Amino acid sequence: MNSTGPQPKNQPGSEGGGWLKRLFGGAPKGRSMLDEVEEKGSKLIVQGYRGIASKHGCAPTSKTSDAQIVEIYKKVGSAFRQTAAERQEHLAADSLNYIVLKFFQVYENFGTDMFDQHLSYEIQKYRSEGLRADYNQTVQLF
């Protein structure tokens, strides 16, 4: 038996979660709130890198789809964050953004196989020697 008595509906802690839907908006059926956040985050990432590319004449160009931008962002960012954690270091988001930007150029110029090989090489180099000096730059996406 609940000693606090029945809780009013649509309040924090009550069943139904109506207050969350009002606060954050309801996700369409079959989609979670996390799906919504990831979708909006992906759009911001794509817009950010497309804007940089347009302004500076670099990758990612139309050769790279929006889905590939997000995939590369996640793959490179995850690999460098994991290696930073192993080294008990922290890489700022703006530094990771710059590193990812460099890898878009590798992807577009040399393709998937070279991209994967280069990522493995750079991660091993970071793990054993530390972050390359030329990676100590920043890019703001937003």
Structure confidence by residue, pLDDT tens digits, 17-47: 565 566 666 655 677 887 788 888 999 999 9
Report the number of distinct structural domains present in the chain. Answer: 1
* Tens place of pLDDT per residue across the chain (142 aa): 444 544 444 444 444 556 556 666 665 567 788 778 888 899 999 999 999 999 999 999 999 999 999 999 999 999 999 999 999 999 999 999 999 999 999 999 999 999 999 999 999 999 999 999 999 999 988 8
Q: Considering the entire predicted model, what is its pTM?
A: 0.76
Q: Is residue 38 part of a domain?
A: yes
Domain annotation covers residue 9? no
Q: Which domain holds residue 95?
A: 27-135
Q: Is residue 110 part of a domain?
A: yes
Q: Tokens 């988001």 label which residue? A: 93
Compute how many other C-beta atoms are within 10 angstroms of the C-beta atom of residue 18: 13
Cis peptide leading into 6, omega within 30 of 0? no
**Cα-flanking dihedrals φ and ψ of residue 30, to 5°?**
85, -5
Would you state the pLDDT for residue 33? 83
